[in-house]
Amino acid sequence: MLKLSIFTALKIPLKTKSCLLYLVLSVTTPCLASVFQLTDPKLAIVGEDQQIQTVYEDTLYDLARHYSLGSEELIRVNPGIDPWLPGADKTLFVPGRHILPSGPHTGIIVNLPEHRLYYYPKVKRGQPQVLVTFPVSIGKMDWHTPIGLTHVISKIKNPSWYPPEGVRAEHAAAGDTLPPVVPPGPDNPLGAFALRLAAGNGTYLIHGTNNPIAVGLAVTHGCIRMYPEDIESLFAQVPNGTEVRIINEPIKVAWVDGELLLEAHPPVDAEGQSYEPNVDQFAQLLREAVGDSTVAIHWDYAEEVLRQADGRLAVVGLEADLN
């Protein structure tokens, strides 16, 4: 287990007026957004894990939203716990540590296997860079979320939903007839805020939801779905033209104080569906991360971490001292 002293990111309390990114909190389901100051440009990991005790009224879905996690993200690391009726006085693991995704720390990055969005606002002169991260839902069968570089072309408050013909046919087959237009309101699956992306000629959105339990799953028709309070916060911060990079990075690795850490998530295919992790892919990524360094790797443990792919960070190697 890593000591918390390795984390130089500072978590910003959202309830203070001085916070850089304000998240609108629900009275009944408060959400603790993960907002960090990146005080060191070499920082590879942010956040911290927690253990909590349940009370009788808890569900894992409510707790996931409270701790800024997708529902599956919390369920996966607490096997054997009933997500609807966990019961009182159960000890739950709450994953909060994240290895930063590869590439430049600018704009929005959505890592599909991780079901997580990272936003790097433009740096203000004399201030450290800030990172805010949220759980998201991604595309499901035959409605894959596009991978690559795009950007925000418009911001829409109280959007109407125009169901594509294929979506209307899907609902009709299930006995549910959709109208040509769904106006703003509680029945609108886009929620109250949407960011339109250039990808797909403007057909892809980052938007809210009227079904927050599903955040963190591959359940959308290609769009990126967020908790209502999260999209409201992001909507207020993101200007038009913001770069959006959508990546498929199921395995992330980082060096911290001579320790090699691995973070593995279930890989997703072009339709957004998870599949069994590939050990060979992991080994190649690990070799790239190690480079010319001399490292002792616990391969059996590393492969077990990959097979579980539950997102928990694990130390799988140590830098060797040849002196």
Q: Cite the active site residues.
A: 207, 223
- Which tokens go with 26? 């629900």
Q: What is the 3-state secondary structure (H, E, C) of the chain?
A: CCCHHHCCCEECCCCCCCCCCCCCCCCCCCCCCEEEEECCCCCCEECCCEEEECCCCCCHHHHHHHCCCCHHHHHHCCCCCCCCCCCCCCEEEECCCEECCCCCCCEEEEECCCCEEEEECCCCCCCCEEEEEEECEEECCCCCCCCEEEEEEEEEECCCECCCHHHHHHHHHCCCCCCCCECCCCCCCCCCEEEEECHHHHCCEEECCCCHHHCCCEEECCCEECCHHHHHHHHHHCCCCCEEEEECCCEEEEEECCEEEEEECCCECCCCCECCCCHHHHHHHHHHHHCCCCEEECHHHHHHHHHHCCCCCEEEEEECCCC
Contact (Cβ atoms closer than 8 angstroms) between residue 35 and residue 132: yes
